[in-house]
Structure 1
Amino acid sequence: MSTNKIIGIILIVGSLIVGYYGINKVSQNDASVKVLGLKIDASNESGKNQGYIYLGLAAVMFIGGIFTLNRKDA
C-alpha cells in the first residue's frame, strides 16, 4: 500500500469525523420553543457558523482524500 493511499484514507476518515462534529455543533446551537402561541428562537449564531465551517472543512478533506486515492503515480 502506497503512502498516497494511506493519506487518502486518513483524509476521508478524518472528514467523516469532522463532518459528524459539525452536524452536531449546528444542531446543538439551534433551538426554538413555542410558548402560548409565540415562537421563541434561542439559537446561537456563532455556534452555528462554527458548525458550518466544520462542515465545509469536512467537504474539502473528503474531496482531497478522493483526489489523493485516485491519483496515479508515474
Structure 2
Amino acid sequence: MNTRKIIGVLLIVLSLGLGYFGLNKVSDNSTSIEVLDLKVDLSNNSEKELGYVYVGLAVLVLGGGLFLLKKNSN
C-alpha cells in the first residue's frame, strides 16, 4: 500500500469525525421552551454556524481523500 492511499484513508476517517462533530454541534445548539402557551425558540447561532463550517470542511476533506484513493499512480 503506497503512502497516497494511506493518506487518502486517513483523510476519509478525519472527515467522518469532523462531520459527526459538526452535526452534533448544530443539533445541540437549538432548544425550544413552551411557557404559558407561547413557544420560545432558543438557539446559539454562532455555534450553529461553526457546526456548519465543520460539516463543510468534512465534505472537502472527504473529497480530497477520495481523490487520493482514486488517482492512479504512474
Aligned match of 1:69: 69
Q: Tell me which residue corresponds to 1:20.
A: 20
Q: Secondary structure at the match of 2:30?
A: coil
Q: State the partner residue of 1:11.
A: 11
Shift of 1:36: 1.8
Identity score, percent: 53
Unaligned runs of 5+ in 1: none
CA distance in 2, matches of 1:68, 1:33: 47
Matched with 1:31 is 31
Partner residue, 2:58: 58
> How does the TM-score come out when normalised to structure 2?
0.96
Question: TM-score normalised to the size of structure 1?
Answer: 0.96
Deviation of 1:39 (Å): 1.1
Q: Which runs of 4+ in 1 moved over 6 A?
A: none
CA distance in 2, matches of 1:59, 1:37: 41
* Structure 2 unmatched runs, 5+: none
